[in-house]
Structure 1
Amino acid sequence: MARQGRSEQHRGDGASDGAPGGGAPARRAGRLPRGVPYFAVLALAVVALLAGGAGGVFQGKLSEVQQNDNTAYLPASAESTVAGNEAARFSASTTLPGFVVFHRDGRLTAADRAAVQAAVTAIRSVPGVAADTVFASYSADGTAAAVYAPLIAKQGGTAVSGDDLSATENAVIDAGRRAPPAGLQVDPAGPAGLLVAFIGAFAGLDGTLLYTAGGIVVLILLLVYRSPVLWFFPLFSAVLALGLSAMVVYALARSGAVTLTGQSQGILSVLVLGAGTDYALLLISRYREELHRYERRSDAMIRAWRQSAPAIFASGATVIIGVLCLSFSELNSNKSLGPVSAIGIACTLLVMTTFLPVALALAGRWVFWPRRPTVTAPVAPGATGAEPGDPAELSGGLWGRIAGFVGRHARPAWITALVLLAVCLIGLGGLNTGGLSTAQGFTNRPDAVVGQEIYDARFPRGTGAPAVVVTDVAAVEQVRAAAARVPGVSTAAGSVCVRTDPAKLSRIPITRGIQGLSGSPQDCPPPALQVTPIDGRTVVDVVLADAYDSPAAFDTVARLRAAVHAVPGADALVGGTTAADLDVRQASVHDRNLIIPIVLAVILVMLALLLRAVLAPVLLVATVVLSFLATLGVCGWLFGPVFGFAGADQSFPLFAFVFLVALGIDYNIFLMTRVREETLHVGTRRGVLRGLAVTGGVITSAGVVLAATFAVLGVLPLVFLAELGFAVAFGVLLDTLLVRTVLVPALVHDIGRAVWWPSRLSRGRHRSATGGTEPELVTAGR
């Protein structure tokens, strides 16, 4: 950008640009907005370049600070968290249950059983495994064996990282698969195996996801700009923003200030790439427009920056405040997603409003080759800046024709759009948000899912991941009796007992399998083998009859809580893997009901401040919410019958809402800020048509880019991200192609100047191009 004191007659910039020498001399675009001096923009551009480049190495290190277990998601006040913390006092370490399953189509052979016993010995020697509790058991039909191999998830109060858990589980599987007899199938199972499979699903974040998203962005930018050069600038800027975001997020996650999950890391990547490209498209579109009016590229960029920056900052601020509303969540994972996403958008705003404009201004017109813009309508000397485009723009080009059509058929257009959205709403009844089991959460079939299916088919399903009841010692017998009567609790021997102390058990010969560790109300290990009470409290393990992550198990835990809470003087709390999953599901529903209204209120206030009106923001929010509900309806039609998903997670509507509304409102912001700018000169009805004509191409391109980047989430083999990616992609396209193109412009055109109520624009007077005022113009067909 040129320095502020540079002479207006200096032509070196334009000459080096290759701009035409003829025509009226171009007027300087003026200063940047007050409080934004040139040196500050240049300094921030340098900071963005250096920090973003250096931050690239942190993108590959984010997996080191991920936490993907449900207990890390829950608040300290959750019952399962409190019970888990109490139960942790009874052992030096907290374990994550896991199994190695051995299976043959026929009965196990003697060689198979010898291999199982060898695996027990080998697994006990794996660092990170609770060796004292590694035992083998055999199915009743003799076709399968399971080695119970729990991983140490917390040692001495310090949680083991996801990478370390994954490495330990892989070592366990390697030990189990060490030279098995031919035909013997060996697979992981249980919470440990499924968690490691879940962590492994994010291994593509640093490669497959980013490269696929980047490739799609490049392709779309090539189609949009039809230039072999220009695509590099927005993509490189987005990469810088991603590196800067990764550096900040890594530092905060490592210090414990935020909880980073694999899901939030994946969302961060596509959010920065998608939103960054959107902001770049808006700036570059306005820059190209101004290059037709200003001979000096620096003047054109200053003007473009001044005109596009308010919409970009308003869009970014809306997304930032919208995602920060997740801070009201009960779930730590949701709470942290807000700051993680906000950091990503803030870094994107910094790079796209400093580095990108400086780089483009320094590069010159050649970046648009082979369609370099030339000065065709120079700004007259003495003019304060470029006026809106000529009304003739409505008669030419695709978007001019679309705007003309909307203007001539405004009322039928918005009624038709509403009917189409209403049809989509019919599918809402088919959307199942009751949750998914861990095995159902994968789009593929990892070994852990295969092993879990074999285990569930041949062993008592609840064994290995019992519910954990912490109770006063004085009421322990009443608690055991109450728990044993709960429907859904296993009735097999050894299902409801005071926890066995592995250290005590290790000092005597073990003849029972894993079922013998628990006991039952009638046949429990003797008190000499039970954990020693602490502060008058003890632990009772309750084996469930169903798989730990099944809906039936969740119902059982709910009944179990009601039963033991009713025992007088017990002060009983229920925790364990199933209880933690249940608390996560309940917290997700709570978060959805609380946060959605907050986000709507915040966005409404932001729009009211931006547009200086009340009716227009209400209209925009209503259309975006309708678009969101229509998207959920389409998801209800497609998720089960077409995609084959078993359902959707309870948090899916909340995540889809936050990103669809916060991002979908962007396109209405881009449109309506330009409409307001045009309205000041030509009135509301002509202003909305002109705004649609000049922004249609860039906003549609931005929507396609954002939709494509979120759709890339489907490359990760997780149902939740595949569903979220589809919902955001479809919803963004719906907003871009129907809501912003037809519904909003047609409604604004039909309502007229009243849409700006209660501002002065609603009273029907506006500035004309000559500086005077004239009444609201009525377009043809009105």
Structure 2
Amino acid sequence: MKAIESVSRAVTGKRGRWVTLAVWILLVAVLSVVWPPVNAVEDNNAANLESTAPSVVADTVAEREFGNGADVPALVVWKRSGGLSEDDLGKLKALTQALTEAPLQDQTGIIPLYQLPDPVLLSQLSEDKSSFVLPILFDPEADADRLKENVEALKAKVKEIFGENPFETPIDETDALSARVTGPVGISIDATALFSNADVTLLIATVLLVMVILLLIYRSPILALIPIAAVGFAYGVTSPLLGLLAEQGIIIVDAQAIAIMTVLLFGAGTDYCLFLISHFRHVLTEEEDKRTALVKAFKGSSGAIAMSGFTVVIALLVLLLAKYGAYQRFAVPFSLSILVMGFASLTLVPALLAIFGRASFYPFVPRTPEMEAERARRKGKQPRARKQRSEGIGALVIKRPWTIMLATLILLGGLAGFSTQLKYTFDLLSSFPSDMESREGFTVIGEQFSAGSLAPVKVMVDTEGKANDLKERLESLPYIAKVGEPQQGKENKQIQAYEVEFSMNPYSMEAMDHIPDLREAAEQALLAAGITDPSDQVWISGQTAMQYDTEVIGDRDAMVVIPVVILLIALLLLLYLRSLVATIYLIGTVVLSFFSALGLGWIILHYGFGVEAIQGAIPLYAFVFLVALGEDYNIFMVSRIWQKSKTMPLKQAIKEGVNETSSVITSAGIILAGTFAVLATLPMQVLIQFGTVTALGVLLDTFIVRPLLVPSITAILGRSAFWPGRRDFSADQAKSKPSM
């Protein structure tokens, strides 16, 4: 406690507060000059799968044996509802000739339509002759920004040859030529654009939201600016630190991670600030000297703030154990931002409060009764009578703990039951807005051609030179629309490859589930040909195969990350509270809240908005955030109950602890839920779903778990809630003794 008091006096002293502010200003200024901001070193083309993943190994085999196996295709979809004219086809030939003679910067291949006889070209049109798909291959090393430059150059060339810009023509406009870029290149460009725009949009929307909520709750403009300033300084330090780590190749950051990091920083960071501010405001009504009040507030809240922040940091770092790249890329940015924000909450915020003092709360300045009386005397008025604190929710909890516990368990359990109905998808395209270019192009392909032609898979086998019936086996499968002729490997002539198109959306879960079936069919064909152990002689590449591997690795990561997060948070709670019983029910309530949030999210997204499936990564992301952030509120409230139980009966400690933390946790919960809800305003289903589920989880923690379920369990358990820790229960015993 002496160390805490020393820190508080150092950062709030007459010189210390200004020195603290100057250090933060200098730190942000210097780091911003010497190291790049994190936005400048984004890598939105980083691989999510390890090099040992089956689909990645297959891509390597495809590139080695078949040349263009690893090239990335852009599918340019052309459509004229009345049918493509001879002039359209002639201009398409001219376009491919121009791109053959003068390729785009990263172009690696294009079908030379100008060399094809007219009957062959006409056979490639859709059945009603209204649509045509032109594949253009690009270097797989080109990132989304470079691919975008290539596509912009392509569109300029099209405008030059066609004399119009069909990419701007509405896709359903009658008898007008339209064009759209889809396929892996188009999807990559659109996904990057969505997340890039989200970064700026989120920052503006989040700042405005936090400002408005703080003004509505505290009605003080200065107070509203203090958390915003603290978060701004924290971001100013975090950004160049992450920029340095990314520049040195230690970590990889992408636009999605930066966007969500911004939300997390504002939401959780503001919460930590409010934990101190609310306590400071309360102590100012009892202590006349503002610095003494601030030191007391710091001592009373710093432990909970540090513990809450450390819990979140540890939980987010566990994502480093994941094998899926996107999970790993979240770990360091998120944990580092919270760590820096924790330091800002314990140094910069106290310094700012010390500088502004009671004026921080203007015009509703908190004063002691003596100060109020003196102020009224100077104005010649009677001092205002203080409002009696209502019994609040704490009194209800200790009066009817069993009723409240059972009611909340039934409610949360009922919502959690809906989480068993969740359906998942790994189809990134379905999360795009319906009017986005790559999705419009895919819709045309699905309507006019086989949907599987958007992203065929390549089935490769090492035949050892033996004849086999693999092509016939693949063609007999009911979910396969087309099987290409066998191709022979360049280096290993015994390797054969077949381009296989599904009869369904190749990005769908249904198609993904057939990847093991394709592998089994290939192995059975090799077994029938006399190969005894074909398991390592079959490779399947393509987007569907990659998504299948993503699902498998995602399931593995969930099995690893979730137990480790629970274990580490449990250990931290045990060390902080020194109570095994409290640790168990605090962890249990937050886990229950997580499943309830998933269930409630599914009710809203599925039954309310018609969402057929949520993105497969949502549960793991939501779990890490909700369990870590949910424990913040439990820690803050329970630590207050623990402190008060030293000097008063436990039931009284519960009542006062709940009531004293009620307003600040409610405010913090609304702000945190609001910042995550901002994600739901963006035109990206993965962000909408993540924002919705996380915001709902925070609200459940704020209004049900923290004020009702946790204190009611504590009241029912009584002294056992502290086991095996020791408490002096003499106050309880004295109260229970009959008076003489």
TM-score by length of 2: 0.86
> What amino acid is aligned across from residue 401 of structure 1 in structure 2?
G
1:115-514 matched pairs, under 5 angstroms = 115-124=91-100, 125-133=103-111, 137-154=124-141, 160-176=142-158, 179=164, 183-376=176-369, 396-397=388-389, 400-433=391-424, 435-463=425-453, 465-472=455-462, 474-475=464-465, 478=468, 480-481=470-471, 484=474, 487=477, 490=480, 492=482, 495-498=484-487
Question: SS of 1:100's equivalent?
Answer: strand
The 5 A counterparts of 1:508-547 are 532-533=490-491, 538=495, 540-546=497-503, 547=505
8 Å contact 1:123–1:149 — kept in the other structure?
A: no
Question: Aligned partners of 2:78 and 2:282: how far apart in 1?
Answer: 68
From 516, 521, 524, the counterpart of 1:558: 516
Q: Which region of structure 1 is more displaced relative to structure 2, 542-551 or 600-609?
A: 542-551
Shift of 1:166: 2.7
Deviations 1:589-610 (A, max 9, x none): 2222332222112211111111
Measured after TM superposition, the shift of residue 476 of structure 1 is 7.7
Mapped contact 2:78–2:180 kept (Cα < 8 A): yes
Write the deviation string for residues 110-130 of structure 1: whole angstroms up to 9, x where unpaired: 222233234334555321222
Shift in alpha-carbon separation, 1:32–1:106, aligned structure 2, 3 A = same
Shift of the alpha carbon at 1:777?
4.7
Residues 778/361 of structure 1: CA separation in 2 closer, same or farther (3 Å cut): farther
Q: Secondary structure at the match of 2:611?
A: coil
Once the two structures are TM-superposed, the CA of residue 718 in structure 1 deviates from its matched residue by: 1.4
Gaps of 5+ in 1: 5-28, 155-159, 379-391, 499-529, 767-773
Matched, 1:679 2:666: no
1:646-684 alpha-carbon deviations (Å, 9 max, x no partner) = 211222111111111111111001100111111111132
Rate the CA distance shift 1:532–1:483 in 2: closer, same or farther, 3 A.
farther
Q: Does 1:740 align with 2:706?
A: yes
Shift of residue 163, structure 1, vs aligned partner: 1.9
Q: Which moved more, 1:454-463 or 1:217-226?
A: 454-463
C-alpha deviation, 1:341, in angstroms: 1.2
Q: Does 1:86 align with 2:57?
A: no
For the pair 1:730 / 2:696, whether they are aligned, the reply is yes
Structure 2 counterpart of 1:583: 549
Which residue of structure 2 lines up, in the alignment, with residue 24 of structure 1? Answer: none
Q: CA deviation at 1:479?
A: 8.4
- Counterpart of 2:79? 103
Structure 1 pair 143–765 and aligned structure 2 pair: CA distance change class (3 A): same
CA distance in 2 between partners of 1:134 and 1:358 (Å):
69
Which SS does the other structure have where 2:104 is aligned? coil
Task: Summarize the Cα distance change of 1:455–1:484 in structure 2 as closer, same or farther, 3 Å threshold.
Answer: same
**In 2, Cα distance between equivalents of 1:173 and 1:539:** 36
The CA distance in 2 between the partners of 1:778 and 1:174, in whole Å, is: 86
Aligned length: 690
Whether the 8 Å contact between 1:430 and 1:637 is mirrored in structure 2 is: no
One-letter amino acid of the counterpart of residue 298, structure 2:
W
What is the rounded CA distance, in whole Å, between the counterparts of 1:44 and 1:466 in structure 2? 60
Cα deviation, 1:188-229, whole Å, max 9, x if unaligned, reads 121211221111111223321110111100001101221122
* Structure 1 residues 368 and 171, CA gap change in structure 2 (3 angstroms): same
Q: Would you say the 8 A contact 2:77–2:131 is kept in 1?
A: yes
The one-letter amino acid of 1:274's match is G
Aligned with 1:275: secondary structure?
helix
Structure 1 residue 760 displacement after superposition:
0.9
Write the letter of the residue equivalent to 1:669.
Answer: I
Alignment of 1:617-636 (within 5 A): 617-636=583-602
Deviation at 1:728, TM superposition (A): 0.8
Contact 1:227–1:370 at 8 Å: present in 2 too?
A: yes
Q: AA paired with 2:60?
A: N
State the distance in 2 between where 1:41 and 1:367 align. Answer: 15
Range moving further from structure 2, 282-291 or 39-48: 39-48
Q: CA deviation at 1:339?
A: 1.9
Root-mean-square deviation (Å): 3.2
C-alpha distance in structure 1 between counterparts of 2:262 and 2:623, whole Å: 19
In structure 2, the residue matched to 1:18 is none
Unpaired runs of at least 5, structure 2:
114-120, 167-174, 372-384
Give how far 1:550 is off. Answer: 2.5
Contact 2:283 2:297 in 1 (8 A): yes
Letter in 1 for 2:224: W
State the distance in 2 between where 1:33 and 1:475 align: 78
Distance 1:616 1:42, change over 3 A: farther
Give CA deviations for 1:507-548 in whole Å, capped at 9, x if unaligned.
xxxxxxxxxxxxxxxxxxxxxxx65216x7756242222333
Distance 1:645 1:580, change over 3 A: same
Match of 1:112 in 2: 88
Letter in 1 for 2:302: A
SS of the equivalent of 1:462 reads helix
Residue number among 40, 44, 48 corresponding to 1:67 in the alignment: 44
What one-letter code is carried by the residue in structure 1 that aligns with 2:398?
A: G
Contact 2:182 2:438 in 1 (8 A): yes
CA distance in 2, matches of 1:620, 1:406: 17
Deviation at 1:565, TM superposition (A): 4.5
Secondary structure of the equivalent of 2:365? coil
Give the aligned residue type for 1:107: G
Name the TM-score, length of structure 1 as normaliser: 0.81
Distance (Å, rounded) in 2 between the aligned partners of 1:93 and 1:460:
21
- Whether the aligned pair in 1 keeps the contact of 2:42 and 2:255 (CA below 8 Å) is no
State the match for 2:605 in structure 1. Answer: 639
Cα distance change of structure 1 residues 30 and 718 upon mapping to structure 2, 3 Å threshold: closer
Of 598, 611, 620, 1:654 maps to 620
Q: 1:667 aligns with which of 622, 633, 646?
A: 633
Give the Cα separation in 2 of the matches to 1:712 and 1:76.
Answer: 36
Q: How far, CA to CA, are the matches of 2:703 and 2:98 in structure 1?
A: 60
Letter in 2 for 1:106: G
Query: Which amino acid in 2 is paired with 1:76?
Result: S
3-state SS, counterpart of residue 474 of structure 1: coil
Counterpart code for 2:411: L
Give the distance between the partners of 2:37 and 2:590, measured in 1 at CA. Answer: 36
Q: Distance in 1 between matches of 2:400 and 2:603?
A: 31
1:50, CA displacement in angstroms? 3.3
Q: Does the 8 Å CA contact 1:322/1:602 hold for their aligned counterparts?
A: yes
Preserved contact between residue 765 and residue 775 of structure 1 (Cα < 8 Å): yes
Instruction: Answer yes or no: is the 8 Å Cα contact 1:466–1:541 preserved in 2.
Output: no
- Residue 549 of structure 1 is matched in structure 2 by 507
1:560 and 1:255, CA in 2 relative to 1: closer, same or farther beyond 3 A? Answer: farther
> Structure 1 residue 268: deviation in Å?
0.7
Separation in structure 2 between the aligned mates of residue 56 and residue 376 of structure 1, nearest angstrom:
47
